[in-house]
């Protein structure tokens, strides 16, 4: 899809499943199950919508999905339903191979955002999946990932970033910075203290990647906040700042975990905000 003078493609990684209760926090099951019907284990279907941006001079991949380094046990636990590798999806959807990607960005280092950063080499050792890329990661998020709390430790797997550090490909970044003209990363606390959202401004349009602040279209209502969040009141504050602005300014919004409608706009309807699916950016 054209986005101003850049090209943007949504590259879904694969479907996986997490507990619906954990995904919707204090929201009762009889409400969230209307949008996300749970399976027999109370899990909901989700995806991981990575985004490829070709600026002309850089080929950028935002997020790398869940990766392929999982045991059979974990594949079953997370309902990982991989039809093709991220490499194949990148090739099919964006027409690029892993060697051509020049910048990889993670909004944070949870395994469902950074899992495809590395893959097992022939000897079974995790190695960078994008051998020619620089990997951009928030310095604060890296520090947190290296010393997480008991509450979020299970989300951080060092195999997803340590090989990049070893290869010299990891670049630690500030809380807010410009990746390329028009593409900015900005830290919004809530999911944790250091997760970043991304914002692309090109040709008078804005595309905003909410990462785990608004993981699916069902998380647009202010109080629909994940149980995983470390600081839910800060998530609420960030949503109350960003979502009305998205509605006012007509942003295209990317909901990373939405399995069906990753791209949407926010509209205000009798005082409430709701998502409207967008088929394309044009
Ligand atoms: Zn996360």
pLDDT in tens, 48-76: 999 999 999 999 999 999 999 999 999 99
Cβ proximity of 48 and 63 under 8 Å: yes
Q: What confidence category does residue 280 fall into, taking pLDDT thresholds of 50, 70 and 90?
A: confident
Report the separation in Å between the CA atom of 113 and the middle of ligand 1, taken as the mean of its atom positions. Answer: 7
Report the separation in Å between the CA atom of 176 and the middle of ligand 1, taken as the mean of its atom positions. Answer: 18
Report the separation in Å between the CA atom of 43 and the middle of ligand 1, taken as the mean of its atom positions. Answer: 17
Q: What confidence category does residue 228 fall into, taking pLDDT thresholds of 50, 70 and 90?
A: very high
Give 88-131 pLDDT, tens digit per residue: 999 999 999 999 999 999 999 999 999 999 999 999 999 999 99
The structure tokens listed for 69 are 């380094």
Report the separation in Å between the CA atom of 270 and the middle of ligand 1, taken as the mean of its atom positions. Answer: 31
Average pLDDT for the chain: 97
Report the separation in Å between the CA atom of 155 and the middle of ligand 1, taken as the mean of its atom positions. Answer: 8
Please check the confidence at residue 236 and state whether its pLDDT lies above 90. Answer: yes
Which domains does the chain carry?
A: 2-277 (3.60.15.10)
Q: What confidence category does residue 262 fall into, taking pLDDT thresholds of 50, 70 and 90?
A: very high
Report the separation in Å between the CA atom of 19 and the middle of ligand 1, taken as the mean of its atom positions. Answer: 14
Which residues contact residue 144 at a Cβ distance below 8 angstroms, ignoring those fewer than 6 apart?
A: 192, 193, 194
Q: What confidence category does residue 271 fall into, taking pLDDT thresholds of 50, 70 and 90?
A: confident
Q: What confidence category does residue 282 fall into, taking pLDDT thresholds of 50, 70 and 90?
A: low
Q: What is the mean pLDDT of residues 219-225?
A: 97
Report the separation in Å between the CA atom of 110 and the middle of ligand 1, taken as the mean of its atom positions. Answer: 5
């Amino acid at each position: 899809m054209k986005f101003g003078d850049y090209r943007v493609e949504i590259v879904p990684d694969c479907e996986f499943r997490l507990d619906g209760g954990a995904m919707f926090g204090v929201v009762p099951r009889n409400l969230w199950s209307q949008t996300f019907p749970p399976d027999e284990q109370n899990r909901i279907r989700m995806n991981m919508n990575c985004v490829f941006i070709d600026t002309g001079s850089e080929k950028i991949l935002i997020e790398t999905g869940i990766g392929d380094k999982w045991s059979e046990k974990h594949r079953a636990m997370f309902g990982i339903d991989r039809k093709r590798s991220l490499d194949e999806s990148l090739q099919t959807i964006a027409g690029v191979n892993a060697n051509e990607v020049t910048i990889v960005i993670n909004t944070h280092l949870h395994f469902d955002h950074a899992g495809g950063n590395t893959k097992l080499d022939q000897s079974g050792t995790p190695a960078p999946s994008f051998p020619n890329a620089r990997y951009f990661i928030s310095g604060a998020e890296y520090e947190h990932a290296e010393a997480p709390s008991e509450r979020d430790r299970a989300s951080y797997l060092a195999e997803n970033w340590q090989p990049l550090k070893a290869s010299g490909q990891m670049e630690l970044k500030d809380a807010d910075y410009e990746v390329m003209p028009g593409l900015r990363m900005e830290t919004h606390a809530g999911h944790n203290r250091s997760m970043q959202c991304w914002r692309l401004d090109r040709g008078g349009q804005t595309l905003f990647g909410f990462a785990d602040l608004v993981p699916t279209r069902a998380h647009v209502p202010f109080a629909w906040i994940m149980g995983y969040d470390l600081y839910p009141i800060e998530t609420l504050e960030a949503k109350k700042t960003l979502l009305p602005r998205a509605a006012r300014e007509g942003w295209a919004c990317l909901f990373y975990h939405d399995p069906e409608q990753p791209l949407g706009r926010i509209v205000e309807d009798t005082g409430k905000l709701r998502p409207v699916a967008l088929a394309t950016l044009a």
